Structure 1
Amino acid sequence: MMRCDLIKSAFALLLVVLLVTPVASFADPELWEVRKGESLSGIVRQLLPESRADRVAMMASIVRANPHAFADGDPNRMFAGVVLAIPDTEALARQETVPSTPSAAKSVADSGRKIVQDSDSEAQTAAAGRVLYTKGRATAATAEGDVRELTKGGQVFDGDTVTTGPGSFMRVRYSDGATMLLRPRSRLQIEDYQYQGNSDSDRSLLRLVKGGFRTVTGAIGQTNKEAYRVATPMATIGIRGTDFSALFCAGDCVNMPDGLYTSTDQGSTVVSSGGESAVVDAGESVYVPLVGGAPQPLKIKPRLLSLPDPGCD
């Protein structure tokens, strides 16, 4: 009985803090993918291992900043698979600590491919984009099979295949001003990207192989919408100048049937599959089954499509 009373008291304290604690700075938030079985308290313990006094305030800030991640705003009812934006731990800490966050394993099994570090020598070729932020492990592979690690400030090029590891995120700004945030366990091929400020020749043709992203289109999508396309295993996404998200599930999404999910936050997209197309306006979502077929409208936006704005530096 005493243990139950303590739990109730702690929960009541957290609710009070939720009402009075201002949201911490999210200028460049840390991102955290919630895995099945994880709890908010467990996540916060990893973020603030040496600062117990600040954990309640941290939990309150996370709940307030991520309403999509909690049922009815209840800190004890967090959805698996969602992405949390984590506030700056230093803004909450009462003492100077170094936050500890989980990261993807640094070692990779030898696949016979050469692994090199991202270097300035690649600047001889015009970059398709530059990395704004990484958490965990992200790599880019050339068409020749050379693999390099990607970190903040690194470049991606036409022909690269970009991959994020488990629990890893990467935010990229393309040369036309478009921004993209890649989810964990994602793979994106930059099939044909050219930008020189010429609407006749500029183009952005991407292919989502696995995982997902949120993107805000840049000059290419604004000046020549026909020159922008994202291909997926079962559908093609075109745009009309927009902010949208896409997620391809293939046995790796919690409580979601396999297939392609897309959602539009601003503007509109055109999703084509099975010989049919669907216009997805702001606030709308569609689903394309793994076997293909016409896009199906969804009544509500899947929680796994809720990602922070990729334009935050």
Structure 2
Amino acid sequence: MAGILDGVDRRTQLAGHNRLELLLFKLGTRQRYGINVFKVQEVIQCPNLTQIPRSNSVICGIAHLRGKTIPVMDLSMAIGARPMTRGGVDAGYVIITEYNRSVQGFLVSAVDRIVNMDWGQMKPPPKGTDKESYLTAVTQLDNELVEIIDVEKVMKEVIGASEQISDGVIDDTSANAGQHVLVVDDSSVARNQVKRVLDALKVECTLAKDGQDALETLERWIAEGKSLPEFLSMVISDVEMPRMDGYTLTTNIRKDPRMKDLHVILHTSLSGVFNQAMVEKVGANKFLAKYMPDELAALVQHRLIEHRQLLRITAE
């Protein structure tokens, strides 16, 4: 697969224009899946894996790559499908990814190609999809359905993550009454993680499933007569979402004089210097890599204090 990820610098230009590139792959059947190229570090033929005693059954083993020890997961098994056979492991590929501040590999049976798409072509899972489904989005390509897996859900179930805020992080919450936050994320797991932090801070929130849903919610509040800078303490938004990504949502907020002063935090499993550059490009206030509840709670608390002070100054 050498060369399949060449030209990443060129691909970064897609961000902010509601576009992405998907790396297409398969999991032992004809069904095609996709993963955002920005999550992918490299694609390799599956190396020899070292087994880990008493590890989660989804973890095939660990790979040693350039001085790093990387867990490799059977992605098919992780989403409740048929596990890869031993022959499939030997013949398969590993997609090395970076999610939520960690590097891991996903074992797949075949890697297809990279396609350039508009986030508007990415649709939420069909209505009626089981709530336990691992789908976060779908799209059509070559008259076939391509499925996007909710990797954050997979990661939480296989690796786990701290969900609790440490003692001493949260200050007095009595002053948070009346504050409101808009949370935007296509992953139900991620939405609920943020909501739990806000609940601990005793802050009310509204949940939106993607950027388009969030923008429509903001416009509805305006139509109802709400002054968004006063009503809304902040927007906490994912970046990768069907229909409208977080970069484009932020750009639309900044272009609208009724919304332009909203405080926007981009909270995403994408990480690295690239994201900090994009924060500045689209005009977001902060970038926070997922998912550290202590860091999120501290950042939200700081903004809540700032918002109260702004409201006090305005009232005077």
TM over 0.5, shorter chain: no
Q: Could you tell me the TM-score, scaled by structure 1's length?
A: 0.30
Relative to its length, the structure with more helix (as a share) is 2
Q: Could you tell me the TM-score, scaled by structure 2's length?
A: 0.30
Higher RCO structure, 1 or 2 (CA under 8 Å, sep 6+)? 2
